[in-house]
Amino acid sequence: MNVLIIGAGYVGTTTGLIFAELGHSVTVIDVDQKKINDLQKGILFFYEPGLDTLLTKHIASGNITFEMDHQKAIKDNPLIFICVGTPQNQDGSANLDFLREASEFIGSNLYEYKIIVIKSTVPAGTSKQVKGWIEYTKKDPVSFDVLSNPEFLREGSALHDALYPDRIILGSENDQATALLQELYKGIKAPFIVTSPSAAELIKYTANSFLATKISFINEIAILCDKLHINVQDVAKGVGLDIRIGPLFLDAGIGYGGSCFPKDVLALIDTAKKNNVDLSILEKVHAVNENQPGYLLKKIKTRLISLSAKKIAVLGLSFKAQTDDIRQSPSLKIIKDLISEGAMVEIHDPVAKLPGDLMDKVFQKASAEEAMINADAILICTDWPHYKKIDWPDLKNKMKSPIVFDGRNMLDAAEMKSIGYIYEGIGCE
């Protein structure tokens, strides 16, 4: 099948490569010439395990090409996926400018029937807007369909999630278009759920907001656990075995970050407000998440009294492990607060790099061990598996004081204490 992907971002590139892996002929376009040039050479602009190999494989197989000739790309492909970004507006609503641009471009180059599929995360009802934008710009009286097919890829495990999804959601009102999309995904074994386009759009926001709610909920329970001297991991395990609740997304920590949860929670709040619906539960989810990095900082300040001129080693910069993405990373908030308290911060992350505004204020070390030498305390902000394998007994003697604040509860508290560390997690004192 010939498929066009508009937008060579994280979602577009990953989706394109998955379709190429399924044997389809994929063209990817983007307005960013450099991105396209790099992708043509097999260079990915983000870190995602396994994706670079797939890129090399399918550039060689010819199943994927990256192009700048947008008009030709629209003309040649009957099936068009829109994968452009929908960033957050100041008021929390989703910004649909890129989506509108893409829709109008499709409209002005539409000379025969096409199926247009929105993969970008968009508020319920957006497919109708896209239809309107295309309708308004098209020159010929040709027909087209707009479908919604949200993605549920997690950064760091995008390949696995795309090849073995829990479900494929398709918002479609046209049976023939539905059948074509079913054919496109034929190689993937997963429940295929067909809904209205608006329902598909809402499913995406509801899923992400529900997962964010689970995280904020367990984070508040963790604070209660600290007060009651109960281990939140025991509580989460006992609760998660109830199949109605499930064990995942119950890891207490410093809060959720990344390009999806924070943005999607706010966008759903915005949709509710615009429809005069009280979704204050999500406002609380957001507020808890905003405070969670500060909770760790409070623990540090209680223990160290003053942070002035103290050397703090921060392990992990990315918003979660297996990605170099630092967008909305709670680690960044913590580092900024540490600096404003007068601490000297040295950080380590295996792949993520410091953003420009922190480069001259923080030292990034090549190894976690280097960052930890002479430190007054260590802060774990991202659960990179390597941090479990650090030679903690050896490092203890190289630190100024052996204190570890584990913002991800990733180390064994009893073991750390038996080595001689003062160890504090979130909800597991």
Extract the annotated binding site for NAD(+).
30, 35, 86, 121, 155, 263, 327
Radius of gyration, alpha carbons of the chain = 24
CB of residue 426 to ligand UDX, shortest distance in Å: 10
d(CA 212, CA 209): 5
Query: Does the footprint of ligand UDX cover residue 346 (CB under 6 A)?
Result: no
Residue nearest to ligand UDX (CB): 260
Query: Does the footprint of ligand UDX cover residue 299 (CB under 6 A)?
Result: no
Active-site annotation holds for 381: no
Residue placing its CB nearer to ligand UDX in the complex, 197 or 258: 258
Token pair of 335 as six digits: 């580092």
CB of residue 331 to ligand UDX, shortest distance in Å: 9
d(CA 422, CA 251): 21
Q: How many CA atoms lie within 13 A of 179 on its CB side?
A: 3
CB of residue 296 to ligand UDX, shortest distance in Å: 12
Query: Does the footprint of ligand UDX cover residue 10 (CB under 6 A)?
Result: no
For ligand UDX, which stretch binds (CB under 6 A), given 149-157, 168-176, 185-193, 299-307?
149-157
> Taken in order 65, 35, 70, 117, is the CA torsion positive or negative?
positive
Residue placing its CB nearer to ligand UDX in the complex, 106 or 169: 169
**What residue spans of 305-400 are helical by DSSP H?**
330-340, 368-372, 392-396
Residue of 320, 332, 333, 428 that binds ligand UDX (CB under 6 A): 320
Residue of 12, 16, 258, 407 that binds ligand UDX (CB under 6 A): 258
For ligand UDX, which stretch binds (CB under 6 A), given 83-91, 146-154, 172-180, 300-308?
146-154
Provide the residue type at 223 as one letter.
I
d(CA 270, CA 251): 27
Query: Does the footprint of ligand UDX cover residue 256 (CB under 6 A)?
Result: yes
Neighbours of 41 (CB within 10 A): 10
Query: Does the footprint of ligand UDX cover residue 249 (CB under 6 A)?
Result: yes
Residue placing its CB nearer to ligand UDX in the complex, 316 or 402: 316
Token pair of 203 as six digits: 């499913």
Do residues 230 and 216 touch, judged by C-beta distance below 8 A?
A: no
For residue 313, give the nearest of 295, 300, 327, 303 by alpha carbon. Answer: 300
Query: Does the footprint of ligand UDX cover residue 334 (CB under 6 A)?
Result: no
For ligand UDX, which stretch binds (CB under 6 A), given 92-100, 252-260, 305-313, 364-372?
252-260
Neighbours of 354 (CB within 10 A): 18
Q: From the candidates 83, 225, 260, 381, give the one annotated as an active-site residue.
A: 260
Q: 């376009």: which residue's tokens?
A: 29
Do residues 366 and 346 touch, judged by C-beta distance below 8 A?
A: no
Instruction: Mark the binding-site residues for substrate, compressed into ranges.
Output: 152-155, 204, 249-253, 257, 320
Interaction with ligand UDX in 184-243: which residues (CB under 6 A)? 208, 211, 215
The CA angle 424-157-269, to the nearest 5 degrees, is: 75
CB of residue 2 to ligand UDX, shortest distance in Å: 26
Query: Does the footprint of ligand UDX cover residue 100 (CB under 6 A)?
Result: no
d(CA 283, CA 289): 10
Residue placing its CB nearer to ligand UDX in the complex, 162 or 375: 162
Query: Does the footprint of ligand UDX cover residue 154 (CB under 6 A)?
Result: yes
Residue placing its CB nearer to ligand UDX in the complex, 251 or 346: 251
d(CA 314, CA 368): 9
Residue of 45, 46, 47, 152 that binds ligand UDX (CB under 6 A): 152
Helix then strand then coil, in percent of the chain rounded to 5, is 45, 15, 40
Catalog residues that contact ligand UDX under the rule CB under 6 A: 151-155, 208, 211, 215, 249-251, 253, 256-258, 260-261, 319-320
Catalytic residue annotation: 260
